[in-house]
Every structure is written in C-alpha cells, then in structure tokens.
Structure 1
C-alpha cells in the first residue's frame, strides 16, 4: 500500500511539474522572435531515407522543446523523477520519450541500437549529456554512425539575450523572453564513410568541427535578423 501511494504521489508530482514547465515554455516561446527555418533540413534528411541522430549540446536543449515541436523524434532520457518530467514534456510537444534504467551508461548505447533496428527515423541526443563533462562527445553517437550508418545532424542554437547558468556543468542557456533565437541545422555527418585511421579521436574531431560550424551558422543568422 505504501509503495502504491508513493508511486501515485510521484506520478502526480511529475504531471504537475511537467505541466507547469510546458505552460511556461509555450508562453516563453510565443514571446520570442525566432528563425527555425533550418529545421526543415531534418525533415528533408528523413524524407531522403536516412536514419538521423539530431545532436546538440546539453546546455542548449531547453529552447528545442517548443521550437522543434511536432517532429516525431525519439528522445532518450533516464528513469528518474527529472527524467520522467522531461519525458512528459516531450510527449506534450509531440516527441516520443524512451526511459532508460538509472544506470544509463550501461544501457544507453544498446537502446540507441534497438531504436535504429526498429527503424526509428529521427532520434534526438545531447552529445555531452546527461551528466557531462561539458562538451565531451559521448562515444555512443560516434558508434551509432560509424557502425550502423546513422547520419548525425548537428544542431546549433543562438540567442540575442540569455541567462547562462555558469554553476551548472553544462552551462545551461535560457534565452530571455522577447529575445531573437535561431536554430540552425548542419550538414549530415556519416561516420560510416570515414576511414578508421585515427580511431575515436579522429571521429570526435569530425563531429566537433560539425558542431562548431553549426554554432557559427546560428550566430551568423542571428546577426542578420532585425533588432
């Protein structure tokens, strides 16, 4: 009985917290001057028959909830209270969450492979998440592309005014209301077409260059928007 009450209370808590965040994100998103035209690239990559892993830095993910809404993307998170809140937010914006056991490091890559084998067309993943270190590229994304032919689609976010949470490991960025915000999508990266010379470090450099390029592109687009 105690366990049932605990589970019910947790479920209610998840729903309340997620609902509050969704309401805030929708109001906040409505206030932004945004350019998300390049998200159409994701749709075109999928339409061309690719299985796509959309990758971004963990500190940039908050604006993507409302700005990329409606895409049938799989979002993988951890089965904790925080992870369940994220999963509920994902569902309300049209994404498909997958909850991993708490020992995510042991289950993350096998779950990615399982989704690929089940023909998932679009998966979203923070390259340095869920616990960092900051901008450290996870090997799972590299293996998924190199071994299974999944193409990586780098995503960059730039905003004119934002709060940077420097005390967090990921330096989370939260664009302020009424800011200009840009989401850029880079060229596809297919590591299965890359030579094995240089090993993991070589693959990391390729992906890092792609991430740096898409972040620059987002900043260029932002600079061209009217003040």
Structure 2
C-alpha cells in the first residue's frame, strides 16, 4: 500500500503558499499606498518603454518587495529562482502583474538565459536580481550582462533608499518599508553591454557593481541620510 504522506505534505504546502499570497498581496498593496516615493533619473527607461524597446532592469534581491510593488502592472518579466522560496516570490510577483521566467545563475541557467533573450527580443522588459538567489549580498552575477550582450537590450540599474524599514535577518537584508516611509528610487541611464562575446560581458561585472553602488549613494544622498 502506498504511503499517502508525501501527497498530504504537498497539499499542505500548496495551501500555505495560497494563504501567503492571498493575505500578503493585499497587505503589501495597502502598505505601499502609504509610501512617499520619489524617482531620480527614470527618463531614459521611460523613453525606451515609450518606443517599445525592451530593457533589462537590475535590482538587488533585498529590494524586491519595494521595487516590484512600485513598478507593478507594467507587464515586465522577472527572473525567479527555482528554489523553494522562489515559488512564493513567483506567485507574489505574478499577482502584481508580472510574468515570470524560472531559473538562476546556479540552477536552470541555460534554459533561463534562452528564455530571457527570447522575451527581450519580443520587446518585453526583464527584471533580474544579480545577487540572487543566494548572494553574496550586492554582488553582481554576470547573467544579466550575458543576456544584455546576446539580446542587444541595455541594462538599467535601479536602487532604492528607504527612510524607515523592517529588515529581515536573511542573507539579503530583505527590506519592508514601514508605513509612510520615504522611498527614493535612483535609475541609471540605459547602459548597453556592447561587446562581442559572453566572456567579454562577464568582464563588465566590476563596472556594473560600481554603477549600482553609485546609484545607492545617489538615492541615499537625495533622501538626506541613512534609513532607520
């Protein structure tokens, strides 16, 4: 007689996942409605969207909540890992109007890269967390740059500075802005990865890590100091 326990466990996990999404998404929408958001330098990205040209958006994993909430319902695709915690993130971002591409630099990488290039060539923006799914925090894995080199789509770095936030004790310091927090979001200019080979794209990693650091400093400076 077969053991029904695995099926029961899977059913419980699905119910928990459904509950997280059913309760979590309205809560985030309500919370986000209180944030005071200011944008810096988004004009280049807006111009590409207006022209129907796809862009790769690079954001840190710890800022997924605030940035995917702010850019919801734009029809972009988000690269989400195939790890267990990725399933929760995938359901949440889909509830916010995003498409998802499953995979990461460590699991499902080749298939995910092909899908990203296909989506970008179809004129759809893609968002990637280059330090996900496992870190180290604020390290720029080269997958976004290889996708940019192969698709011809430029990269726009996006970094938020939050005046007041809860920060989880996770590897990425996951941020949940508190009610009525100031959220300052800095965008880079669309930056092409204009090199001949994927190997040369990988060599661009230090340049883009520096770009993301500069954006974080710019957002913090515009907000007037460190968040709490």
TM-score tier by shorter-chain length is 0.7 to 0.9
Q: 2:171 aligns with which of 169, 172, 177?
A: 169
TM-score, normalising length: structure 1: 0.82
Once residues 145 and 104 of structure 1 are traced to their aligned partners in structure 2, the CA distance between those partners, rounded to angstroms, is 15
Q: Give the equivalent residue in structure 2 for 1:203.
A: 204
Query: Which of the two has greater helix per residue?
Result: 1
SS of the residue 1:121 aligns to:
coil
TM-score, normalising length: structure 2: 0.82
CA contact (8 A) 1:157 1:181 kept: yes
After TM superposition, give the deviation of residue 202 of structure 1 in Å.
4.2
Say yes or no: does 1:146 pair with 2:146.
Answer: no
SS of the residue 1:105 aligns to:
coil
Q: 1:206 to 1:49 in 2, by over 3 A?
A: farther
Stretch of structure 1 that moved more, 78-87 or 126-135: 78-87
Q: 1:30 to 1:81 in 2, by over 3 A?
A: same
Say yes or no: does 1:155 pair with 2:158.
Answer: yes
SS of the residue 1:191 aligns to:
coil
Alignment of 1:1-227 (within 5 A): 2=4, 5-36=8-39, 41-100=44-103, 105-118=106-119, 119-165=122-168, 167-192=169-194, 194=195, 199=200, 202-223=203-224
The number of aligned residues is: 219
After TM superposition, give the deviation of residue 107 of structure 1 in Å.
1.6
Unaligned 5+ segments in structure 2 are none
SS of the residue 1:46 aligns to:
helix
Once residues 123 and 132 of structure 2 are traced to their aligned partners in structure 1, the CA distance between those partners, rounded to angstroms, is 20
Once residues 123 and 10 of structure 2 are traced to their aligned partners in structure 1, the CA distance between those partners, rounded to angstroms, is 30
Once residues 113 and 46 of structure 1 are traced to their aligned partners in structure 2, the CA distance between those partners, rounded to angstroms, is 22
Q: 1:41 to 1:15 in 2, by over 3 A?
A: farther
Q: 1:185 to 1:168 in 2, by over 3 A?
A: same
Q: 1:148 to 1:201 in 2, by over 3 A?
A: closer
SS of the residue 1:184 aligns to:
strand
Unaligned 5+ segments in structure 1 are none
